[in-house]
Chains A and B, each alone.
Chain A
Amino acid sequence: MENASSSSNKLNLFNNSCLDILQRDSQSRIATGHKGLDRHLGGGIALRQITELVGNSGTGKTKMCLQLCLNVQIPKSAGGLEGAALFIDTRRDFHPDRLQELAYDLERQYKHKSPDFQASKMLQNIHYVSCPDAVQLMATVLSSHRHLMAHPNIKVIVIDSLAFSLRMLEDGAQRFELLLELLQSMRRLQREHPVAWVVTNVLTHRCIGRQFHVVPALGDLYSNLINERIWFSRSGHCSLGKLWKTSRLVKD
């Protein structure tokens, strides 16, 4: 008769303690470049989580997405993850010139710490797919595991923006189902690879009771399935939290 501890070892359950997880977690965060936000998030965007950036047009979501694609490549010697990025573009907001400018800025910032962190190498590590409609988006997300096998050092996948393609579908029920399927396949990928998903969303009006409230699009159930939500406002401030009412303003 085996005792309980040896049988649980064979099953490979409950092997990690909280301390293990804490140590592993503190090394695997992607810096956002915004000091207050990094402090609030505990270092940056976490791997194996879905982070959502919400805000209206022109508030800086795409810029943050590009910045994350670059920050994930910061070398380990400077405290970064030295990974690659995959950018899934549905809104055609991606502009290579802007990415190049941000890359040069980052190179300048890290020049004294790691001199061979070149902008040209940064651009080679960002993979770009353009998904003009919902079908392409589904195809890309469902086959992203194949791309991760080919490039195993991809640490962040950005979808800019999830709301745009899905809202183009006319049927609300189909929209909802496809969104759930997308989230399910994102989670499945996260179980196998240490990847952070970053998703962009927009605000919309919803009629609650008799009044119109401004809420993030894509629904309430979706809000439960993501891990972090960062709000971008027109004045340039960021807030953290799932609901606007309970969100905390991030100060520098």
Chain B
Amino acid sequence: MTNFLEQLPKRIRDIAESLNVLTPEEVLTTPRVKFLDTRVTSVYTLVRKCTPDDVRVLKDAAAKWLAETPLTADSLFKPLANVRWSRVSFGCPALDRCTGGGVVTRGITEICGAAGVGKTQLLLQLALCVQLPLQLGGLGKGVAYICTEDVFPARRLREMSNAMEARYPQESLNLMGNVFVEHQREIDTLINCVVNHLPRLLRQHSIGLIVIDSVGAIFRLFTDYLERARLMRRLANALISYADKYNCAVVCVNQVSSKCNGSSDDAPCLGLQWSHLGRTRMCITRVPKQHMVQDQLLTVRKLEILYSPETPNDFAEFLITAQGVVELPAKVRRL
């Protein structure tokens, strides 16, 4: 941005140009020592030796150029700003109650659970619900679904979308056509897909939900923890920036592994690094209770919020039927 440099006094502009630092972003991220280092800029050039005050003026100017003015907290409740905190409903009243309305469109929401406990089912339901219009709890937008281990369960989605269309016959929904599926089994291709190809999809279609099923499988095989941390951060950075820019919800699926110290609970995989990158963490487990629905004995599942910035650590029980994820019937639920 040549405008930024032009408004500075000539001396400071020379200092910046001699290091080939031209944009305000580069000015702020170049450490101060680089400007003061006399090994880099020759003493015989026209630039007089750079002093710390000069660097401070330069950085101040860059900061002023880039900084945005703070808003007051109560202006965040007004309609234009509070769209940043919208939610995608789960389609099941119990789960919505427990999570405060559904999945937030900020940051990464992590759903962890053992194998076969119903994570993919819940995600399919979410993928259908996000396409519902705003007044029914969705966002009216499509889904980008990235599978890393199994094949995408298209037939199951068809079954669930038929049930949802039967529930809301007045809306003309094209539920299957708005779910964009991608299979990526390696970490490099996954990061390439998320960083390079996903923005193109986000620009062309309006996407309200990005799902990565599952992150646990793809990162578990790493032995070099530093490299794994770096890649996790890069992936999370890209996802969070899309959530900010396009106001969509991001859900990543994680697995659990049993703790080494012999206790019976399972801990989510991927360690501390991943837990810092996620904003909300929910855990699905099986409850040793069963319930009869139309001649089938189904096991009750429990969704528990492990941490979330806006809701207390609540839990809710649900069932997975042919129609999708439903809550327990009223007479069975403990009040």
Contact = CB atoms under 8 A, between A and B. Distances in A.
Interface string A133-149: 11110111111001100
A126 interface: yes
Contacts of B107: 91-93
A97 to B, nearest CB: 6
Interface string A83-126: 00011000111111111100000000000000000001001111
A139 B59 CA distance: 8
Interface stretch (B42-50, B181-189, B195-203, B276-284): B276-284
A143 B230 contact: no
A242 interface: no
A126 B73 contact: yes
Contacts of A177: 31-33
A57 B278 contact: yes
Contacts of B308: 58
Interface stretch (A28-36, A167-175, A219-227, A244-252): A167-175
Contacts of A204: 272-273
B276 A202 contact: yes
Q: Which of A99, A143, A163, A167 has the most CB of B within 10 A?
A: A143
Contact of B63 (A62, A128, A143, A170): A143
Contacts of B77: 96, 100, 123
A243 interface: no
Contacts of B71: 127-129
A203 interface: yes
A205 interface: yes
A56 B272 contact: yes
Contacts of A99: 73
Given A129-B70, A167-B233, A170-B230, A98 B276 contact: no
A138 B276 contact: no
Interface string A8-31: 000000000000000000000000
B70 A128 contact: yes
A95 B281 CA distance: 16
Contacts, number: 133
Nearest to A167: B233
Interface string A31-63: 000000000000000000000000011100010
B310 A123 contact: no
A132 interface: yes
B18 interface: no
Interface in B302-327: 306-310
Given A96-B82, A139-B66, A170-B230, A126 B33 contact: no
B29 interface: yes
Contact of B85 (A96, A128, A141): A96
B60 interface: yes
A140 B70 CA distance: 9
A177 B66 CA distance: 20
B134 interface: no
A123 B309 CA distance: 18
Contact of B62 (A62, A97, A133, A139): A139
A202 B271 CA distance: 13
A10 B328 CA distance: 80
A93 B309 contact: yes
A10 B230 CA distance: 56
Contacts of B275: 56-57
B176 interface: no
B74 interface: yes
Given A95-B85, A95-B309, A143-B63, A178 B29 contact: yes
Nearest to A99: B73
B301 interface: no
Interface stretch (B5-13, B159-167, B212-220, B237-245): B237-245
A111 to B, nearest CB: 20
B1 to A, nearest CB: 13
A169 B66 CA distance: 18
Contacts of B64: 143, 146
Interface of A: 56-58, 62, 86-87, 91-100, 120, 123-129, 132-136, 138-143, 146-147, 163-164, 167-170, 173-174, 177-178, 181, 202-205, 214
21 contacts: A57-B275, A87-B73, A92-B244, A93-B279, A93-B309, A96-B76, A98-B310, A123-B74, A127-B70, A127-B72, A128-B73, A132-B244, A135-B66, A136-B67, A138-B29, A139-B28, A139-B63, A143-B60, A163-B276, A168-B237, A169-B29
- The 8 nearest A-B residue pairs measured at CB: A58-B307, A177-B31, A142-B63, A127-B70, A123-B74, A139-B66, A126-B73, A95-B310
Given A96-B76, A129-B70, A205-B272, 7 more contacts: A96-B77, A123-B77, A127-B70, A142-B28, A169-B29, A202-B276, A204-B272
